[in-house]
Amino acid sequence: MTLEGKSVAILIAPRGTEEPEFSKPKQAVEEAGGKVTVVSFETGVARTVNSDLDEGGSYTIDKTFSEVKADDFDGLVVPGGTVGADKLRGSVEAIGFIRAFFDQKKPVAAICHAPWTLIEAGVLKGRTLTSYPTLKVDIENAGGAWTNEEVVVDNGLVTSRDPNDLPAFCAKLVEEIAEGVGVALEAGN
């Protein structure tokens, strides 16, 4: 599966995004020939974390939320990390950026705690997805159906539970972005 000519945004929250949930999808997109743009709150370098507490790697932020729009990309990856997902869902700019991918029916991939951002964006009504197990009630309260599976694909929305699911998650996100089938919002969302 090739992503040649495709552009993918991947979000990072400094000192909050989970290292493997950021680096593995980024690597998968690049290895498939896609161009990755790292997007965050401010330019510079962001550090990831391992298991929410230990320092991870350092990554250059390519663009801020104010410098990008969903029109510029073929897909979006939202990594998890408890702190990172919480920082992202607290940002009006980040949530607006995420929601725009749904508005434009573009593929979105979210792993672990990242579905918190989808709840905040109001895009889960009628969707089936997975996440870190502690988000189950949050997802159900937002109108989604939660299932405990390695990877779930619902009309262009790819979700997984945790770093153990990364091989399946990365394969499916590359496949969905290559197909270009997006995540249309249900009427009323």
Catalytic residue among 24, 113, 127, 172: 113
The Cα 25–Cα 7 span in angstroms is 13
Would you call 113 a catalytic residue per the annotation? yes
CB 64 within 8 A of CB 12: no
Place of tokens 């990365």: 170
35 has which bridge partners?
Answer: 7
Catalytic residue among 36, 98, 111, 112: 112
Would you call 35 a catalytic residue per the annotation? no
Listed in sequence order, the residues at least 6 apart from 100 whose beta carbon sits closer than 8 Å to its beta carbon are: 69, 70, 71
The DSSP output letter for 170 is H
Structure token digits, residue 189: 């969302």
- For the chain, first and last CA: distance in Å? 32
Question: What are the distances in angstroms from CA 186 to CA 62, 123, 130, 143?
Answer: 32, 8, 19, 11
CB 46 within 8 A of CB 17: yes
| Positions marked catalytic | 112-113
